[in-house]
Amino acid sequence: MAEILLISETFVKDVCSISDNVAGQYLRPSIREAQDVALRNIIGDALLAKLKALVESGDISQPENAAYKDLADTERYFLAYTTCVGIAQRVTFKIANAGVVKTPDEKVNVAEQPDMAKVQSFYQAKADAAAYDLERWILARRDDYPELRESDCEQVRAHLRTAASCGIWLGGPRGRRLPGVPVKSEKR
């Protein structure tokens, strides 16, 4: 099965100011993860499969697929920033027979973990903003995509209320009773 990437390595390098010598073996897995995990969680399996099929066949530029081309153009920045979040860790640490290793060059100092976390946080914030914009854009044009089921739209609406990534739970709907939902309690 051919690997279908919705953005190119060159686009990611241009948008995120990544060095041209970063190997594809680090970029491709990050791009794959961005589209097959993060983007899939936003647009759903069916719409992602449709986009990949149109890109693979080369038909995405056809006039009848203008809505899909617009979606592919809109989601590019989200994918690029999400890719950058994943790549920082991949290029800094490598898994080898000796375990997890760092391999700095002679004149290059590898960033320490707190600095790397700051870079990841920077790109995560950009990815969150792009995700928010993409979700609003998709909901405004949901009628253009028959693959986007109502359950996918509900998931997108839910993400709009909690679009930012965060390592801790900040409260919210999990802590409330929803109207009309019975509460099961077992007294011990």
Where do the structural domains in the chain lie, given as residue ranges? 9-175
Other C-beta atoms closer than 10 Å to the C-beta of 145 total 20
Q: What does the pLDDT look like over 152-183, one tens digit per residue?
A: 777 777 766 665 566 555 555 555 555 666 65
Confidence of residue 8 (pLDDT cuts 50, 70, 90): very high
Q: What does the pLDDT look like over 99-121, one tens digit per residue?
A: 666 666 665 666 677 777 788 88
Beta-bridged to residue 101, according to DSSP, are: 94
Q: What does the pLDDT look like over 45-85, one tens digit per residue?
A: 889 999 999 999 999 999 999 999 999 999 999 999 999 88
Length of the chain in terms of residues written: 188
Other C-beta atoms closer than 10 Å to the C-beta of 116 total 16
pLDDT of the residue at 147 = 84
pLDDT of the residue at 140 = 87
Q: Which two tokens stand for residue 104?
A: 């700095």
